[in-house]
Amino acid sequence: MPEKLKRLGINLPLLPTTSVGSLPKPPYILEARQKFSAKKIGAAELKALEEKATKEWITTQEELGIDVLVDGEMYRGDMAAFFAENLEGFRTSGLVRSYGNRYYRKPIIAGEIRWRGPITVEWWKFAQRLTKKPLKGMITGPYTMMDWSFNEYYPSRRDACLALAKALHEEVNALSKAGAKIIQIDEPAISARPEELSEFAVEALRIVTSGIDAYFICHICYGAFEFIYPEMLQLPVDNFDLEMSNSELDLVELFRVHPFTKDLSFGVVDVHSHEVETVETIERRIRKALEVLRPEQLWVDPDCGLKTRAREEAVGKLKNMVEAVRRVRAGLGGR
């Protein structure tokens, strides 16, 4: 929907490039976070380092020639826990095991969920001041927050999800008031139980986005997309940001059967692999996307956040991605 972006005052080239959200944390941040947990440094010292790392990533993204920037999430640990810690109604559990050997503190919904005040807005403003390019506002969505938490308070998953949606609407509203025009809602879990999509997940995102004049992106990964497509097109967002490369571009075949009607941020590099895909490989993936999408519908980015990659791998992948987009754009000749 380039018209909507234009109306919002955002001019982007054809095939805009972006990142999903997280970028690798430099070693000094990992060290500082450990020291902070061990109470060896204070919050101000940690924050100063997070700001330094954010600045470095803004500079890197600009040097790479990325069109829509992210703050890189230097200040976040787990994407659900971060919001849980900052909303009223949650407490945290002991360590829970997920994804093999990864442990995290699963949030527990223990009371009425309420928005206490801005969670991401100061970081968005800080990072946006560092660049003239648009910077995405970014929240974890209500469905994923619900699915990744224990619910000890609400009578049903639906009630918990809709309560989260109301609280997160306040956050999105605050981001929009601060000036964010492109807002991404991360919903990696949204295909967890396909029947819940129509039962309440669509309604939840409607609550989150209601009355807010912004271009909304919904990022979904780990997806069993075949179970929620084409129903997921009902989600009230402008753009879906999907993991495509790790699933061998299966979705492209799905889009031949049911055409994709929104904009699509097409994941062209696998974030789980150390290998830096070549420009040619990425170019081929973009051309494959263009078999089922109009160039005006297509954005290009990695499959998911790059936080698990080493900095050189992340930069290498983004660099080749930008170059591949340049080559494809050249072939589209001034459209």
Kindly state the smallest distance separating residue 313's Cβ from Zn ion, in Å: 17
Kindly state the smallest distance separating residue 211's Cβ from Zn ion, in Å: 27
Cite the DSSP H helix spans in the chain.
2-7, 27-37, 43-64, 79-86, 121-129, 142-147, 157-178, 195-196, 202-209, 250-257, 279-289, 311-332
Kindly state the smallest distance separating residue 271's Cβ from Zn ion, in Å: 8
Using the rule CB under 5 A, is 325 a contact of Zn ion? no
Whether residue 26 is preceded by a cis peptide bond, meaning omega within 30 degrees of 0, is no
Kindly state the smallest distance separating residue 188's Cβ from Zn ion, in Å: 5
Q: Tell me the C-alpha distance between 311 and 309, whole Å.
A: 6
CB environment 178-211: b (16+ within 10 A), e (fewer)? eebbbbbbbbbbbbbebebbeebbbbbbebbbee
Count the helices and strands in the chain (H runs, E runs): 12, 9
| β pairing state of 102-115 and 150-151 | parallel
By C-beta, is 89 or 141 nearer to Zn ion?
141
By C-beta, is 277 or 301 nearer to Zn ion?
301
By C-beta, is 66 or 221 nearer to Zn ion?
221
Using the rule CB under 5 A, is 221 a contact of Zn ion? yes
Strands (E), 221-286: 239-242, 263-267
Binding mask 169-188 for Zn ion (x = CB under 5 A): -------------------x
By C-beta, is 149 or 265 nearer to Zn ion?
265
Kindly state the smallest distance separating residue 70's Cβ from Zn ion, in Å: 12
Kindly state the smallest distance separating residue 116's Cβ from Zn ion, in Å: 26
Region for 5 from its dihedrals, namely left if φ exceeds 0, alpha if ψ lies in -120 to 50, beta otherwise:
alpha
Which residues neighbour 255 within 8 Å (Cβ) at sequence distance 6 or greater?
Answer: 292, 293
Using the rule CB under 5 A, is 139 a contact of Zn ion? no
Per CB under 5 A, the segment of 4-12, 60-68, 136-144, 213-221 that binds Zn ion is 213-221
Per CB under 5 A, the segment of 61-69, 153-161, 218-226, 314-322 that binds Zn ion is 218-226
Kindly state the smallest distance separating residue 167's Cβ from Zn ion, in Å: 22
Q: Give me the residues paired with residue 218 across strands.
A: 185, 240
Binding mask 269-308 for Zn ion (x = CB under 5 A): -----------------------------------x----
Kindly state the smallest distance separating residue 243's Cβ from Zn ion, in Å: 6
Size of the site for Zn ion (CB under 5 A): 3
By C-beta, is 89 or 188 nearer to Zn ion?
188
Closest by CA position to 321, among listed 76, 54, 27, 68: 68
CB environment 250-275: b (16+ within 10 A), e (fewer)? ebbeebeeeebebbbbbbbbbbeeee
Kindly state the smallest distance separating residue 45's Cβ from Zn ion, in Å: 30
Using the rule CB under 5 A, is 84 a contact of Zn ion? no
Per CB under 5 A, the segment of 47-55, 136-144, 217-225, 288-296 that binds Zn ion is 217-225
Q: Encoding tokens for residue 332? A: 């589209």
By C-beta, is 115 or 187 nearer to Zn ion?
187
Give the strand order in the sheet containing 182-186: 137-140, 182-186, 215-220, 239-242, 263-267, 298-301
By C-beta, is 89 or 137 nearer to Zn ion?
137
Do 50 and 77 meet the contact criterion of CB atoms below 8 Å apart?
no
By C-beta, is 21 or 134 nearer to Zn ion?
21
By C-beta, is 304 or 306 nearer to Zn ion?
304
Note the residues at the interface with Zn ion (CB under 5 A).
188, 221, 304
